[in-house]
Amino acid sequence: MVGMADPLISNVTTEISTVTSGLPLKTIDANLVFYIISIIIIAYVLSYLLSFILIHVSERIGWYRTTVTMAIPLLKLIVYTVAFYYIIIAIIEPSLTQVVAFSGLFGAAIGFGLKDLFADIVGGIVIIFEKPYQIGDKVTVGDKYGEVKDIGIRSTRIQTPSDELVSLPNFTIFSLPVTSGNAGDLAMMIVIDLFIHPDSDAGKAMKILKESLVTSKYVIISKKYPCTVLLEDFPFYKRVRAKGYVNDLRLEFEFKSDVTRRAWAEFKAAGIQASLVCPAFDARE
Amino acid sequence: MTGNGHPDSGRTIIGCEQEFEKITRAIDRFGSGAPSHIAVVAEPMYGRTRIVNEIRRIYGDRVHYLSFESIISPSTLPDFSSIDSDIIVIDNCQFLATRRIGGFETLDLFLRRQITSKKLFITTWNAHSWHYLSAVMHLDAYFPTIVILPRMDTPLLKQVIMARHKPGEIRFSDQGTAERSMFFSLIHRSIRLPFMKKEITVPWLKLNFTVMLRKIPRKKRVQVSTEDVIFEKINRIAQGNPGVAILLWETSLNNNTLSLSAINEIPYTISLDPDESFILSIILSMESLHAKDLAAITGSEMDIERVLYRLVQQNLIEDHAGYYGILPFALGPVTDYLRKTRRLW
């Protein structure tokens, strides 16, 4: 096998050398290096500037915040592709056939060496076009939850509720399930569970929780954003569950806390008691 | 609450003819079977009272009129069965519900009494309260006839305002037109740059699209008169709100003469925290509310005095002996801001 492989490799290398020798490679001098570095810097500054401007515009725009930020990753991709193109034509002046041949070889070469980096870049492109999440969404990737702050070419940055900035390689979207809480919308459904004593008046509790949900200062209610209160009976407690939409996903915890606090104050006044058993539950159930 | 009084007769209903006809048709249908209750829904100062007064003028003794002026509790809700008239007109029904836990009881009771009554109820509602209550408790299901008063466009507004004066009484002066183009106006916007602490003002061109469209050369060139430009400006500031436009008209009028420069536009840059936005949206929905009612809505968690102070300071609300309401000229900017930040939906 080894003996057979050797002539194959030598054949390929000869092929590569014949193709590349046909490429009109420019002499690499200080000017060219400076030119390439300038292009990289310009591309970086431009993409930084674009996302900076668009994020500031989106913060002022209110309702359509996520619609504006949606364009950022795409614009970044365009900037970097154009920059890459300029760098390539600065080094070589290829014909179309040469570009095709070269990119094939280039791809194969880096495919082995920089596999992960390119998997991330491909992941980034998939994110841009498939949109499993957008900048501004609240997402869960693996065990990380937070607001998407930036979708870069290589990684996605999410800000967790405890203000940690987590960098997720874009490749993870191929291997891990991605959950977006709001899918590009600014409103997001919030589930609030309260556990009451089985002897307490469940009907009254549902009414109170419904009213504390609809009167919250963070709620949004319409046909598109309905709200509901549900009751479920468990052996040692009853679960009153409210489902409603928060008007801005950045206020999800304030919303939850506001509804819970006011509902419990009213429960207490109405003689509704808390469950004595600690319920084993999954908040994301 | 005020009881039966003399309606302010003679007021016209220019601009709301269609809506008024819808109401009269519903009243005329009333007689047999379950009454088809009517809700007149409008934003503040859109002219609900004008409509009510006209109903009272036309139907006279058949109408019993009530107007709620502050929050109604189940114990202060009037007993409608003892009223002889067959049409009950109730103004400002937004006072039947408050946005707090247990705040919908009065409205529940009222709706129960209304649907079991044989009388026809004509109720008027603040549009923001109406939309909120429709989303929360399907208020719209109780009213087969819903009349929404529209925002006015300039020609109609001109008609409404000019009907208040004798022909030829008002003189329009073009003073102030010479220094500025009609296509755009120069305004000064204050902006905050990310790397600077203080705000800076930059001149900004504001385009007047309506005037532009009229100026597009057609076969015959349309001339824009000073009068039209003035009404265009009034309606732009009032944002189609007839009440605000009339107020602006009255404050700008000097000896029956009106010049473009006399119409003052108050610039607003609103920036509020969630508590302030919430209180502002409550005041906008109720139109006028006492500080203690606001405190009952917000509970102990919010420092209501601080919030009210901040809102008064920003010229958004005013205090009338403890009752807070939105300043008329702030209505448009406040509504826009609250819509943008999703406090109104």
Q: Rounded mean pLDDT of A135-156?
A: 87
pLDDT reported for residue A46:
92
Most A CBs within 10 A among B281, B344, B345, hence the mutation to make, goes to B345
| Mean per-residue pLDDT of chain B | 83
pLDDT reported for residue B175:
59
Measured N-to-C along each axis, helices A96-113 and A2-22 cross at an angle, to the nearest 10 degrees, of: 140
B224 vs A8, residue with greater confidence: B224
Most B CBs within 10 A among A56, A66, A208, A217, hence the mutation to make, goes to A217
pLDDT-derived band at B210 (thresholds 50, 70, 90) equals low
Contact yes or no for B299 and A262 at CB 8 A: yes
Residue-wise pLDDT for A6-43, tens only, equals 555 555 555 555 555 555 666 778 888 888 899 999 99
pLDDT reported for residue B83:
86
Residue A208 near chain B (CB below 8 Å): yes
Residue A194 near chain B (CB below 8 Å): no
DSSP code, position B182: S
d(CA A123, CA A137): 18
Count other Cβ atoms within 10 Å, centred on residue B208.
Answer: 18
Which residues on A lie below 8 Å from B99 (Cβ)? 215
Q: What is the CA radius of gyration of chain B?
A: 23
d(CA B266, CA B34): 49
pLDDT reported for residue B118:
86
pLDDT-derived band at A102 (thresholds 50, 70, 90) equals confident
Most A CBs within 10 A among B342, B343, B344, hence the mutation to make, goes to B342
Most A CBs within 10 A among B99, B100, B101, B294, hence the mutation to make, goes to B101
Residue A268 near chain B (CB below 8 Å): no
pLDDT reported for residue B34:
72
Q: Rounded mean pLDDT of B130-153?
A: 90
Please report, rounded to a whole number, the percentage of residues in chain B having pLDDT higher than 90: 29
By Cβ distance, the residue of B100, B102, B340 closest to A63 is: B340
A215 burial via Cβ count (<10 Å: 0-12, 13-18, 19+): buried
Range in A65-79, B97-111, B200-214 with the lowest mean pLDDT: B200-214
Residue-wise pLDDT for B318-333, tens only, equals 998 889 999 999 999 9
Q: Are A133 and A69 in contact (CB under 8 A)?
A: no
Where are the strands (E) in B92-198, listed by range?
A: 120-126, 145-148, 171-173, 184-192
pLDDT-derived band at B14 (thresholds 50, 70, 90) equals confident
Q: Is the ipTM of this complex over 0.85?
A: no
Residue-wise pLDDT for B99-119, tens only, equals 999 999 999 999 999 988 888
d(CA A154, CA A122): 8
Domains of chain B with bracketed CATH = 17-148 (3.40.50.300), 154-262 (no CATH), 274-340 (1.10.10.10)
Q: Which candidate, A248, A262, A182, A251, places its Cα nearest to that of A214?
A: A262
Contact yes or no for B194 and A56 at CB 8 A: yes
Residue-wise pLDDT for A240-254, tens only, equals 999 999 988 889 999
pLDDT for residue B208 is more than 50: yes
Residue-wise pLDDT for B253-298, tens only, equals 888 888 888 888 888 888 888 899 999 999 999 999 998 899 988 8
Which residues on A lie below 8 Å from B301 (Cβ)? 261
Residue A224 near chain B (CB below 8 Å): no
Structure tokens at A175: 């291997």
User: Residues 109-168, chain A: which have Cβ within 8 Å of B?
Assistant: none
Residue A186 near chain B (CB below 8 Å): yes
- The pTM of the full predicted model, rounded to 2 decimals, is 0.75
Contact yes or no for B103 and A212 at CB 8 A: no
pLDDT for residue A62 is more than 90: no
B335 vs B15, residue with greater confidence: B335
Contact yes or no for B274 and A262 at CB 8 A: no
d(CA A210, CA A243): 9
Residue A201 near chain B (CB below 8 Å): no
Range in A223-227, B45-49, B73-77, B216-220 with the lowest mean pLDDT: B216-220
d(CA A1, CA A12): 17
